[in-house]
Amino acid sequence: MASSKSSLSHPLHSLTIPLFILLQIQTCVSSSQIQKPLLLPLKTQTPSRKLSFQHNVTLTVSLTVGSPPQNVSMVLDTGSELSWLHCKKLPNLNSTFNPLLSSSYTATPCNSSICKTQTRDLILPSSCDPNKLCHVMVSYADASSIEGTLAAETFTIGGEAQQGTLFGCMDAAGYTSDANEDSKTTGLMGMNRGSLSLVTQMALPKFSYCISGKDASGFLLLGGGAAGEPWLGPLKYTPLVTATTSLPYFDRVAYTVQLEGIKVSEKLLQLPKSVFVPDHTGAGQTMVDSGTQFTFLLGSVYSALKVEFLEQTKGMLTRIEDPNFVFEGAMDLCYHAPASLTAVPAVTLVFEGAEMRVSGERLLYRVRKGSDWVYCFTFGNSDLLGIEAYVIGHHHQQNVWMEFDLVNSRVGFTETTCDLASQRLGLSP
């Protein structure tokens, strides 16, 4: 989930369902020499409702760290930079990494070039701890934070050792205030474009993922994209947006694209294009984030979308008139069960060079309201969350092949059946 200036946070919670992650690892010998794809188990976790904007289903990968190897599980997050592990055994943690048991663990001195330069993309600057080690901290929107030592260690993924991987060995009093949440995973795997992310450390030219409609299966392809899959339709690409200068509210290492408009059915919302362009502070960027479940829009755009959707669904959907029920703290448009989801008009996100169509279960999400099931509109108001950004969540990426092309600085996508794509890549149904 996107952190940094947009002030989003990361849940670590649990109800497990098997998934798979397909990793294609580069060797240290040559950047063009790719090892055989590795198949690893991935699990989904459904958190409690502690944070209003959290990702409802987090993806966690199991791997080993250290020498001899210790088993860990990490939340896979394209919206974060620094990978980290809990390194201090606390009563609320079932899984921690113990660096004292590993011969390959190396703490980073605070006077090293790594501490001084490779931490440049972190929101909070690194510092020296009392032992002259590189101290790092990550903070989140609910005022919680975690801190510890920047270190290097061997991360072994599917039997392939990634030596000297930099990560945060965290020894703070806990990741959140909810012990139930912290107990389920060992840490987080950062996958954005920052200098400390796993993507950067592995020098990946691109990676892709595909999430099924029910969050029950999917894959992540590291080092590969759609070009080698003839059965997949052509991808439409939108360029990544970069900032030439440092702006206080612009996350330079996020996967930022240019949103140009929104359509309900085929009607384009009458909004000035300026509302989709970051302002002089950097507020208003559009981030593609697999770590956030739903999609959030700035208040004025959300209001315009809500008005048009209500207008086009008159007589089709029955709205729940309960001002006290706001799903996820930012979604105030919920309905009684519709007769048919197929008749509901689609919402299309218009990007530079590409469009993403959202319909059916991706548009209306079934949730509990007391003893009843209701259906909530899967776009939320980011103003209610204190976020100065547009965030495209993973729910709207279901059954879409997503490709992050770092060499050509672009994001590509095409609709597909992710369950079938997984099988064609050799994953069990």
78 within 8 A of 190, measured Cβ to Cβ:
no
Beta bridge partners of 229: none
Query: Over the Cα atoms of the chain, what is R_g?
Result: 21
Alpha-carbon distance of 9 to 58, in angstroms, equals 12
Strands 295-297 and 379-381: parallel
Mark whether 289 is an active-site residue. yes
Cβ-proximal residues to 340 (8 Å cutoff; 6+ apart), any chain? none
3-state secondary structure of 414: strand
- Which residue carries 């969540």 as its tokens? 393
What share of residues in the chain are helix, strand, coil (percent, to 5)? Answer: 15, 35, 50
Residue type, 186: T
Cα–Cα nearest to 175, from 55, 45, 297, 9 = 9
Using CA atoms, how far residue 263 sits from 89, 296, 313, in Å, is 50, 15, 14
Catalytic residue among 289, 332, 405, 419: 289
Alpha-carbon distance of 413 to 401, in angstroms, equals 5
Neighbouring CB atoms inside 10 A of 274's CB total: 8
What DSSP element (H or E) covers 60?
strand 58-65
Lookup: tokens for 393:
């969540």
- Which residue carries 């590509």 as its tokens? 412
163 within 8 A of 154, measured Cβ to Cβ:
yes
What DSSP element (H or E) covers 233?
none
**67-71: long-range contacts, CB 8 A cutoff, minimum separation 24:** 67/102, 67/103, 67/104, 67/154, 68/101, 68/102, 69/156, 70/97, 70/98, 70/101, 70/102, 71/95
CA-CA-CA-CA torsion for 408, 411, 417, 419, nearest 10 degrees? Answer: 80
Residue type, 72: V
Phi and psi, residue 269, nearest 5°:
-60, 135
Which residues participate in catalysis according to the annotation? Answer: 77, 289
